[in-house]
Amino acid sequence: AQSVSQHNHHVILSEAASLELGCNYSYGGTVNLFWYVQYPGQHLQLLLKYFSGDPLVKGIKGFEAEFIKSKFSFNLRKPSVQWSDTAEYFCAVNAMDSSYKLIFGSGTRLLVRP
């Protein structure tokens, strides 16, 4: 069965620091990859997605993620975080042979200190 690992459960950064959140998945076939964000008190929102083409994808609010197939990874990055980026971030994988399901990681809580 597919699984998704997010190794950083809690991350604390100061404003303007760079961010990288790790995401690894276990599945050898074709995948679609996603990062979701949940701001305090709000819905889960799609941050960015990858399904083909350029492995470096850009999302909203200056976030980007790089798909490295050989490492089964899809790490999320932002060069300079803001206080408003405080949220919980979830990586998710859709394996193409389980075409209806998204499997989520356990999430990373990011706290950005002003």
Partner 1 sequence: SQTIHQWPATLVQPVGSPLSLECTVEGTSNPNLYWYRQAAGRGLQLLFYSVGIGQISSEVPQNLSASRPQDRQFILSSKKLLLSDSGFYLCAWSPDRAGIVDGYTFGSGTRLTVV
Binding site for partner 1 (CB under 8 A): 4, 6, 9, 32, 34, 36, 43-44, 46, 49, 51, 90, 92, 94, 96, 99-107
**Separation between Cα atoms, residue 2 and residue 98, nearest integer Å:** 9
Pick the closer one to partner 1 by CB: 16 or 96: 96
| Closest distance to partner 1 from the beta carbon of 80 (Å) | 26
Closest separation between CB of residue 74 and partner 1, Å? 13
φ/ψ of 17, rounded to 5, equals -70, 160
- For residues 41 and 114, which CB has a smaller minimum distance to partner 1 in the complex? 41
Mapped onto helix, strand or coil, the DSSP state of residue 28 is: coil
Spell out the residues 6+ positions from residue 96 whose beta carbon is closer than 8 angstroms to its own: 29, 30, 31, 32
Nearest residue (CB) to partner 1, 51 versus 83: 51
In the complex, the smallest distance separating the C-beta of residue 94 from partner 1, rounded to whole angstroms, is 4
Neighbours of 24 (CB within 10 A): 18
